[in-house]
Structure 1
Amino acid sequence: MSSLSQTLLDPARRPAVVETLVGVVDAEVADKSGIGGRVIKTGYGAITKISDGFVGKAVNRLLPGFAEALDPFWQSTGERPFADTLVDRQVEAAEALLAVTDRQVGSTSNKVVKKVYGSLRGKAKDNVISALPRVGAAIESHAS
């Protein structure tokens, strides 16, 4: 089985992977409700106003780290759907993905990104966990 990095970062495949993952982010944000949902939607709105295509650029920048972080889960998935593997190991998977974003945000000089991320980071693990089924299905659609 190829590594996720080899597969997802293939130049012929990467743009479609990024587009699919941006769709996952959009869908997850759209599904949020209540006060917490409003906070997420407001933060997402602020981030998307920074520059046209900001989310796609961010996903593209994070993709190598995400692929590396998720590869151990991918290698252990066997014949099961990848989403099931991620959900079964949700805390570990969420922490692996958040470690990537934490490093990226920690190294940026963009104060708006740092502020928005900082305001959302407290609930980030729960949000990542709820997104894992979509993330797993999206990755599997490109890596299988």
Structure 2
Amino acid sequence: MSTAVSDALLAPARRPVAVTTLTDVIDAEVAAKSGFGGAAVKAGYAAVRKLGGNLVASATDRLLPQFAAALDPFWAGKGAQPFGAHLLAHQDAAADALLAVTDAKAASTRHASAAKVYGSLRGKAKSHVVAALPRLGAAVESLVP
């Protein structure tokens, strides 16, 4: 039986690498955005980064247990298929599971500015998460033994 995503990503020796790898995925996804919508995402991301130099990495670390748990059922059902392809095959459910984590955090954050930026971008968030699933899946797969 394969290792659960949550067990692998949250292992004390692997967690810092997981946070760095997943922060790199976020950075790459934002950098790859284009057009008017991409400009809005890039502006929102830049605003969040200005709130604190390591806010993205620290938020990724804080939310990693919930994100990993959200990915566990998808990992368990992937079979021999690459994880990114499996996530994309179940894109609606995968995106909804991941967005449920960020929605809950945004609803309870004490960072009003971050919540405002998130709220302004939330309408298009699902399409951005779906677009990120292949890169996210590949990154997670590289971290799970």
TM-score range, shorter chain: over 0.9
Residue 57 (str. 1) matches residue 39 (str. 2): no
How many Å separate the matches in 2 of 1:42 and 1:5?
31
Letter in 2 for 1:63: L
2:137 counterpart residue number = 136
Residue 38 (str. 1) matches residue 43 (str. 2): no
**Which sections of structure 2, spanning at least 5 residues, go unmatched?**
none
TM-aligned CA deviation for residue 2 of structure 1: 2.2
Equivalent residue pairs, number = 144
1:116 counterpart residue number = 117
TM-aligned CA deviation for residue 45 of structure 1: 0.3
2:13 counterpart residue number = 12
Letter in 1 for 2:50: K
2:90 counterpart residue number = 89
1:92-107 paired onto structure 2 within 5 Å: 92-107=93-108
How many Å separate the matches in 1 of 2:83 and 2:36?
31
TM-aligned CA deviation for residue 109 of structure 1: 1.3
In angstroms, what is the RMSD of aligned CA positions?
Answer: 0.7
TM-aligned CA deviation for residue 61 of structure 1: 0.9
More displaced 10-residue stretch of structure 1: 124-133 or 103-112: 103-112
Letter in 2 for 1:112: S
1:72 counterpart residue number = 73
With normalisation by structure 2, the TM-score equals: 0.97
How many Å separate the matches in 1 of 2:138 and 2:20?
14
1:28 counterpart residue number = 29
How many Å separate the matches in 1 of 2:62 and 2:123?
22
Listed one character per residue, the Cα deviations across residues 25-69 of structure 1 (whole Å, up to 9, x for unaligned) are 011100111111111000000000111111100111111001000
Letter in 2 for 1:56: A
How many Å separate the matches in 1 of 2:80 and 2:38?
35
Q: Percent identity?
A: 54
Aligned with 1:133: secondary structure?
helix
TM-aligned CA deviation for residue 122 of structure 1: 0.1
With normalisation by structure 1, the TM-score equals: 0.98
How many Å separate the matches in 2 of 1:66 and 1:123?
19
**Which sections of structure 1, spanning at least 5 residues, go unmatched?**
none
Where has structure 1 moved over 3 Å in runs of 4 or more? Answer: none
